[in-house]
């Protein structure tokens, strides 16, 4: 069984790319429609329109859980007899432990995705922005509820493709070629060239963890916001800060979080004060250029105190 999984940010052209890829590879495309149809043949019907709605509610929905489990079984069944392209559905996690699988993530900047959604669905910009934010939020929640993972972690993928500058058919070609190389590896080496196994670096899990798309402290902070039921968005907006004489942007800033109910941007830094000067400068510059935007910097000390107050041996502590 050959497996290509495609995870995509809404508006990054995933469906079109997957269709092209299916034509080129002759793999069976497993998308929403195929699954609904396949499960219906087994008499299993989805109780809600969107997959995300099955887990999104305040209360556990047993029908929703059952549907999701059935869907996972169905995909595994298909994989036994077929070569598959799995679009969404958590495919990269389902086949995470299957080394021959190629896991692809399609990304594009927020503004680009908005433009594409406007064109594709004939939407006004405001509606498109709302739609994409909702989709991102729901997807994040789905991945956490069902798989307990952070879907924005790009390191779970073999290939991350930015679809802003690539023709969608070219993107499909890139993936098809990547799969061919991936599935037929050249001679497998024991380790990095010129390095004896004994000499390999030991990297502690904590350090490895720190090297991720989303910094662990950022993830921790997101957990905390979820805990208190505060809605948040991760890096939803980039503010332009500086232009050169020709009008090209030379500095921009994307605060880590936006809390829509508080109308507040939050930037988290765990750098020591001496190293945080760049960030501080950006925030000052932002305050000058965008006086109406509320932004708050949580520095190393502030974040540590937040965690200390919420630490395990202190979980009944006082905090407001």
Looking at the Cβ atoms of 166 and 294, the one nearer to another protein is: 294
Q: Does 202 bind another protein (CB under 8 A)?
A: no
Residues 225-244 that bind another protein (CB under 8 A): 225-230
Binding test (CB under 8 A) with another protein, winner from 1, 123, 224, 276: 224
CA distance 284 to 278: 10
Smallest separation (angstroms) from another protein to the CB of 175: 31
Binding test (CB under 8 A) with another protein, winner from 223, 278, 281, 284: 223
Radius of gyration over alpha carbons of the chain, in Å? 22
Q: Tokens at residue 320, please?
A: 């407001």
Which one of the spans 61-69, 109-117, 285-293, 299-307 is the region binding another protein (CB under 8 A)?
299-307
Site map 246..285 versus another protein, x via CB under 8 A? -------------x--x-x-x-------------------
Smallest separation (angstroms) from another protein to the CB of 64: 14
- CB within 8 Å of 235: residues ≥ 6 apart: 254, 255, 256, 257
* Four-point Cα dihedral 227, 230, 236, 241, nearest 10: -110
Smallest separation (angstroms) from another protein to the CB of 250: 31
Q: Does 320 bind another protein (CB under 8 A)?
A: yes
Q: Does 296 bind another protein (CB under 8 A)?
A: yes
State the maximum Cα–Cα separation within the chain, in Å, rounded to a whole number: 65
Q: SS in 3 state form for 133-161?
A: HHHHHHHHHHHHHHHCCCCCCHHHCCEEE
Residues 134-193 that bind another protein (CB under 8 A): 144-145, 148
CA distance 110 to 225: 22
CA distance 115 to 164: 11
Looking at the Cβ atoms of 160 and 264, the one nearer to another protein is: 264
CA distance 10 to 108: 9
Looking at the Cβ atoms of 100 and 260, the one nearer to another protein is: 260
- Binding residues for another protein (CB under 8 A): 144-145, 148, 220, 223-230, 259, 262, 264, 266, 296, 298-299, 301-302, 305-320
């Amino acid at each position: 069984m050959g497996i290509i999984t495609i995870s995509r940010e809404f508006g990054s052209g995933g469906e079109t790319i997957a269709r092209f890829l299916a034509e080129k590879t002759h793999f069976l495309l497993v998308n929403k429609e195929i699954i609904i149809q396949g499960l219906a043949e087994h008499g299993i019907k989805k109780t809600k329109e969107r997959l995300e709605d099955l887990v999104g509610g305040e209360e556990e929905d047993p029908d929703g859980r059952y549907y999701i489990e059935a869907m996972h079984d169905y995909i595994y069944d298909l994989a036994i007899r077929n070569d598959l392209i799995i679009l969404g559905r958590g495919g990269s996690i389902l086949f995470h432990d299957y080394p021959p699988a190629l896991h692809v993530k399609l990304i594009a900047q927020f503004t680009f995705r908005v433009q594409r959604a406007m064109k594709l669905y004939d939407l006004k910009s405001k509606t498109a922005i709302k739609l994409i934010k909702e989709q991102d939020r729901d997807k994040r929640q789905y991945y956490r509820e069902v798989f307990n993972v952070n879907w924005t972690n790009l390191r779970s993928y073999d290939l991350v493709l930015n679809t802003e500058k690539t023709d969608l058919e070219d993107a499909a070609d890139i993936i098809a070629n990547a799969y061919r190389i991936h599935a037929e590896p050249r001679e497998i080496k024991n380790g990095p060239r010129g390095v004896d196994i004994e000499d390999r670096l030991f990297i502690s899990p904590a350090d490895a963890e720190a090297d991720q798309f989303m910094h662990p402290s950022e993830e921790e902070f997101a957990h905390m916001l979820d805990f208190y039921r505060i809605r948040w968005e991760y890096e939803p907006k980039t503010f332009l800060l500086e232009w050169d004489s020709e009008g090209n942007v030379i500095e921009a800033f994307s605060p880590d979080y936006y809390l829509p109910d508080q109308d507040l941007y939050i930037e988290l830094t765990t750098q020591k004060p001496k190293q945080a000067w760049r960030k501080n400068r950006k925030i000052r510059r932002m305050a000058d250029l965008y006086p109406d935007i509320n932004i708050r910097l949580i520095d190393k000390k502030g974040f540590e105190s937040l965690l200390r107050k919420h630490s395990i041996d202190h979980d009944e502590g006082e905090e407001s």
